[in-house]
Amino acid sequence: MSSLPPTEFSLTVRCEATTLTVLIGGELDHETSDELLSEVSEQLSAGHPPFRDVHLDFGKMTFIDSSGLTALLMIHRRTSAIGAGLHLDNRPPTLERMLQLTNVLDHLTTPPTRTGDQRAEEDDGAGVT
Amino acid sequence: MLVVDRHGRLVRANDAARPILPGAASGVRLHEQVPAWLADAHQQIVETAPPSTVTRALRGNIGDRFFEAHPTVGADGDVMWWLVDDTDRRLAETALSDVRRRSEVLSAVSSTLLSTLNVPRCMEVAAAMAAEHLAEAAVLVAPPQGRRCPLTFARQGAPVVQTTRQVDVAGVPGLAEALQGFPPVPARWINPADIPDWVLPEGFAGPIGSVIVAPLPGHGVPAGALILLRSSTEQAFTEGEEVFARLFAARAGAALSAARLYTEQATITATLMQDLLPPALHRVHGVEYAGSYRASRDHERVGGDFYDVHPGTGPSQETLVVLGDVAGKGLDAAVMTGKIRNTLHALLPLAENHEHVLNLLNGALLTSRHARFATLVLASVRRRADRVRLRLTSAGHMPPLIVRNDGAVEEAATKGTLVGALPAVAARTVETELAPGETCLLYTDGITEARGGPLVDELFGEERLKRALAECVRMPAEAVVERVQMIAAQWLSGGRHDDMAVVAISAPKAGAPTVADGQGGGRPGRSRSSE
């Protein structure tokens, strides 16, 4: 009795008009999350016309750790910077729970209010209210 | 072509032979004109070989050139010597075997040097190999540390000597430049008489005949310089040897700087690890604390889990407990862990408002370069009569678990945003009380995400943790922590795991001594000793 070999990490990219869809398969962890971030960043900078919506599909993702979440947060900064909306589709329970626990689901999926070329969010700085 | 009679007198020399043997005229004696090897061979052939035979060719030098000599004995007993100039082929063969030997040496240098990441050992091997293959003696000068240079002396057939000395680098022609990574000064420009005595290895049979000073190029920064020495009784370095010395130095430099980089990183990691070691915990102001940290077995990685206990200035003041987990691994995570711990220490005076503290911390951590975040739990603790009051806030972290005396295990209803990635964070603080004997447990996901159990790859999970805690009713803090770590370790049964950190806060049972605060012994967490 041995555990099944982990599914190979994979990214499948689909571009349709102004929608970018990335299917994530396998484990999104500290070894693979950089790959996701650079793939999405590359697609975003290459998109003509700019993407309005970016869908990340987690239907085939088997595992996510804190590095994976870091990548999602970075991707959100990139999509916000170009005014695109981020959609996290087919979330498995582990991801759902992680997003709830860390309280970032709303932040990641709220449609961008600012548009275009403004810097996304870093300039809010300390954020003391 | 030479024709020589049986008495060793030259009969004839053709046009091609005359430039080689300028004194060759008919009638002169052969042994006065040619080297002994040819004259002797002629004598032998005359005495032994029958007429009209061709005997084996001979080889040897005439002047500075190299010849094959093919004798043919004529019917009259005269010997016709065909001299074939073989100098160029011989030179090519020598060059080829030199090149072969050198590339063997180079590959030996690389494989020997790259197999060690210990800097002094690397310098020792490099100097020893240089002395063996390149020169009589070699001195490896490492870049100065302050005013002193680490020196490695090697001499053929003698043990390597390593020392650190203040030396006059400028005294050796080309050395100061080599240490800065400039190209080497050609050996013929260096006057051996200019070499100061400190360069000579002990026992070197001087005086110096020739010198090469070669830089050891590193990854961007020079890794030092190599000085090669030959005594005046030996042949001076040729141009080919100089090029070879540079190739050797390039390999040695690469290996040395790899070793140096590795050593630096290992030192940094060790330094950070030292500061990241969790404090020893015990009773503070009538409340029991216990903590345990089990680092991931990935030894090269600094863990991202941490905890601290900042005792209140007096029994009426709150003690702040922090437990957290930084996303990612390695040095970056360690640096962020240090930053969080220091920032929170500085924010202690504001600890009555956890959300405010978290927002200030969040602002301090926020950077546009990355979205590395941390999750943490803040617990402000104060004893009142025999009960312990707690204010608990989770910043994106697993909520603390509270073990009640009736066996119930409650999850504190606190929730908040992780820190370090979003422009602002929100957090809800909950207040609760511990009756004597009750415990509040803070933990990192290394515990709940421990993989193992009967199915090998199953997560330990929160439910199992709660069940384990339900068996810890009325246990002192230390026993709870030990039990949780033990059960998680059993679950892992030797498998790989992430960092696991646990802190327990307990209200001492009635009747237990409350006076002994233990401030006297041990290290009271990261206590503010000055106040």
pLDDT surpassing 70 at residue B522: no
Closest Cα in chain A, distance from residue B164 (Å): 43
d(CA B89, CA B92): 5
Q: What is the token pair recorded at A64?
A: 């996510």
Q: What are phi and psi of B97, to 5 degrees?
A: -70, -30
Q: Of B38, B55, B85, which residue constitutes the final position of a domain? A: B85
Nearest CA in chain A to B373: A70
Residue B24 has pLDDT above 70, yes or no: yes
Query: Which residues of A fall within a CB distance of 8 Å from B425?
Result: 103, 127
Regarding whether B397 and B447 lie in a shared domain, the answer is yes
Banded model confidence at residue B273, pLDDT cuts 50, 70, 90 = low
Higher-confidence residue of B330 and B19: namely: B19
CA–CA–CA angle A66, A72, A60 (5° rounding): 85
Q: Please check whether residue A29 touches B, CB under 8 A.
A: no
Distance from CA of B254 to the nearest CA of A (A): 28
pLDDT of residue A127: 39
Clarify whether residues B78 and B112 are in a common domain: no
The answer to whether residues B188 and B146 belong to one domain is yes
DSSP line for A15-37: EETTEEEEEEEEEESTTTHHHHH
**Closest CB to A66 among B327, B367, B425:** B327
| Interfacial residues of B (vs A; Cβ cutoff 8 Å) | 325, 327-329, 356, 359-360, 362-364, 366-368, 370-373, 375, 396-398, 415-418, 421-426, 455-457
Chain A CB contacts of B362 under 8 Å are: 126-127
Query: What number is the average pLDDT over the span B75-104?
Result: 83
For residue B354, being part of any structural domain is answered with: yes
Residue B377 has pLDDT above 90, yes or no: yes
Phi, psi of B331, rounded to the nearest 5 degrees: -60, -40
B35 lies in the same domain as B120: no
Examine the pLDDT at B56 and tell me if it is beyond 80.
Answer: no
Contact B174, B183 (CB under 8 A): no
Q: How confident is the model at residue B515 (pLDDT cuts 50, 70, 90)?
A: very low
Looking at the domain assignment, is residue A104 inside a domain? Answer: yes
Question: Does residue B176 sit in the same domain as residue B297?
Answer: no
**CA pair distance A97, A126, nearest whole angstrom:** 27
B231 and B326 together in one domain: no
Question: What domain range is B162 assigned to?
Answer: 106-271
ipTM: 0.81
| Best mutation target, A102, A104, A122, to test chain B (most B CBs within 10 A) | A102
CB contacts, 8 Å: B397 with chain A:
101
Tell me the pLDDT of chain B averaged across its residues: 85
- C-alpha to C-alpha distance for B105 and A38, rounded to whole angstroms: 43
Q: Residue A75 corresponds to which tokens in the numbers above?
A: 């991707």
Mean pLDDT to the nearest integer, B328-341:
82
Question: For residue A122, which amino acid is it?
Answer: E
Q: What is the DSSP letter of A91?
A: -
Which are the contacts of B264, defined by CB distance < 8 A and separation ≥ 6?
A: none
pLDDT category of residue B530 using cuts at 50, 70 and 90: very low
Q: Let me know if residue B55 belongs to a domain.
A: yes
Q: Which residues from chain A sit within 8 angstroms of residue B422, using beta carbons?
A: 73, 104, 107, 121, 127
- The pair of three-digit structure tokens given for residue B343, joined into one six-digit string: 């920032």
Residue with tokens 């975003």: A44
What does DSSP say about strands A53-64 and A19-28: parallel, antiparallel, or unpaired? parallel
Interface check A67 vs B, CB under 8 A: yes
How close B262 comes to chain A (CA, Å)? 22
Checking if the pLDDT of B531 tops 80, the result is no
Mutant choice from B422, B425, B443 vs A, greatest count of A C-beta within 10 A: B422
- The CA-based angle B167-B187-B235, given to 5 degrees, is 110
How many Å is the maximal CA-CA distance in chain B?
134
Question: Highest-confidence range of B1-15, B304-318, B329-343, by mean pLDDT?
Answer: B304-318
Contacts of residue B358 in chain A, CB cutoff 8 Å?
A: none
For residue B420, give how far its alpha carbon lies from the nearest alpha carbon of chain A (Å).
10
The predicted-structure confidence for A54-113, as pLDDT tens digits, reads as follows: 999 999 999 898 889 999 999 999 999 999 999 999 999 999 999 999 999 999 998 876
Specify whether the CB–CB gap between A126 and B358 falls below 8 A: no
Contact between residue B500 and residue B482 where contact means Cβ atoms under 8 Å apart: no
The CATH number linked to B78 is: 3.30.450.20
User: Which pair of structure tokens corresponds to residue B16?
Assistant: 């091609």
> Do B188 and B70 fall into the same domain?
no
Separation CA B346–CA A70 (nearest Å):
26
The highest-confidence range among B142-151, B280-289, B421-430, by mean pLDDT, is B421-430
Count of CB contacts below 8 A, A vs B? 90
Task: Give the model's confidence band at B132: pLDDT under 50 very low, under 70 low, under 90 confident, else very high.
Answer: confident
Q: Kindly state whether residue B94 falls inside one of the protein's structural domains.
A: no
Neighbouring residues of A43: CB distance < 8 A, sequence distance ≥ 6: A13, A15, A20, A22, A51
User: Which residue range is the domain that position A59 belongs to?
Assistant: 20-111
From B360, which residue of chain A is nearest by alpha-carbon distance? Answer: A126
Mean pLDDT of B304-322: 91
Counting the structural domains of chain B, the total is 3
Instruction: Convert B274-309 to b/e letters by CB count within 10 Å (16 or more is b).
Output: eebebbebbbbbbbbbbbbbbbbeeeebbbbbbbbb
Q: What is the mean pLDDT of residues B432-442?
A: 96
How many domains are there within chain A? 1
Are A129 and B423 within 8 A, CB to CB?
no
- Residues B228-261 have pLDDT tens digits of 998 877 778 888 888 888 888 888 888 888 888 8
Q: Is residue B233 domain-resident?
A: yes
CB contact A73 to B (< 8 Å): yes
The label of the residue with tokens 């999104």 reads: A28
Cβ-in-10-Å burial (0-12, 13-18, 19+) of B228 comes to buried
Instruction: Kindly state the average pLDDT of the residues B51-57.
Output: 70
B305 domain-assigned:
yes
Please tell me whether residue B520 adopts helix, strand or coil conformation: coil
Q: Is residue A120's pLDDT more than 60?
A: no
Give yes or no for residue B317 having a pLDDT over 60.
yes
Check whether residue B313 and residue B375 sit in a common domain.
yes
Q: Which residue has the higher pLDDT, A46 or B523?
A: A46
Helices B87-114 and B119-133: angle between axes, nearest 10 degrees: 170
CA distance A9 to chain B (A): 18
In a domain, B134, yes or no: yes
Q: Nearest by CB to A3, which of B329, B425, B456?
A: B456
Give the C-alpha distances (Å, rounded to integers) separating A124 from B330, B360, B479. Answer: 28, 13, 45
**Rounded to an integer, what distance in angstroms lies between the CA atom of residue B241 and that of residue B246?**
9
Give per-residue pLDDT as tens, B293-312.
Answer: 887 765 545 568 889 999 99
Q: How far is A12 from chain B (nearest CA, A)?
A: 24
Tens digits of residue pLDDT in B155-175: 988 889 999 888 888 888 888
Angle (nearest 5°) at CA A40 between A38 and A46: 100
Nearest CA in chain A to B330: A30
Alpha-carbon gap, residue A78 to A3, rounded angstroms: 37
Does B352 score more than 60 pLDDT? Answer: yes
Q: Percentage of residues in chain B with pLDDT exceeding 70? A: 92
